[in-house]
Amino acid sequence: RTNVSIVTEAHDHYVKANEPGPTISPAEEIALVRKVRQLAKAGDWWVLAGSLPPGVPASIYMQLIGDIQAAGAWVILDSSGDALRDGCAARPFLAKPNDVEIHKLTGPPVGNMAEIAAAAQAMQRSGVDNVIVSLGKKGALLADAESVWLAASPQIEEKNPIGAGDSMVGGLVWGLSQGLPLPQALRWGIACGAATASMSGTAVGARELVESLAAQVNVSREPLSAIPQP
């Protein structure tokens, strides 16, 4: 499919138009599931991300997560709506909604950090091992079985937010693949997202830029009562 993004010269507004993509037949869906089962192996990291094309049921992520994790691999789910809801039922290692998506999933308001943290903890208790709520310029919030963590974004001149979320997931997976604890892997995710947001067009930041930004990312473990209000 083709997605078109238009960014103003002042970099203060953008419009994004995403095509739905081609309709997937039942035979193609079956072939995909078989291929994933064939490729999944212990120790791998998988990212299941994005909206689903026409013809594919919302339950496909749930099935794929079950198959992948049965092979001993880990899954990060980055989707929305019914695909996110059904996928979380398979108990992935991590889900990464934004504040709007987690509100739709859990129901309670998410107007401040305390409410976002409460929603993330509720989602984590429902069966997802870890929940990262991406918050754009504010960074991200991580809820695991024991704690809530806040990761603040470094200061950048934002030029283009398109692709920043995908870059964040990429940096996060890189950190996890290197054996870093999740809060420290999140530092690299935030840095990669910020690097992409600081670039023009479809460019992504070089390693040197990512390393520089990672040094500026503050990741702190916070009790719920200490999470700041806006």
Catalytic entry in 67, 82, 129, 166: 166
How is residue 109 written in tokens?
Answer: 């308001």
Cα separation of 169 and 188, whole Å? 9
Helices assigned H by DSSP within 71-137: 81-88, 99-106, 113-125
CA 107 to chain centre: 19
Distances in Å between the alpha carbon of 68 and those of 14, 42, 75, 208? 36, 9, 7, 33
Q: Which amino acid is at 88?
A: C
Query: Distance (Å, rounded) from C-alpha 204 to C-alpha 174?
Result: 15
Residue 166 is a catalytic residue: yes
Q: Which residues are catalytic?
A: 166
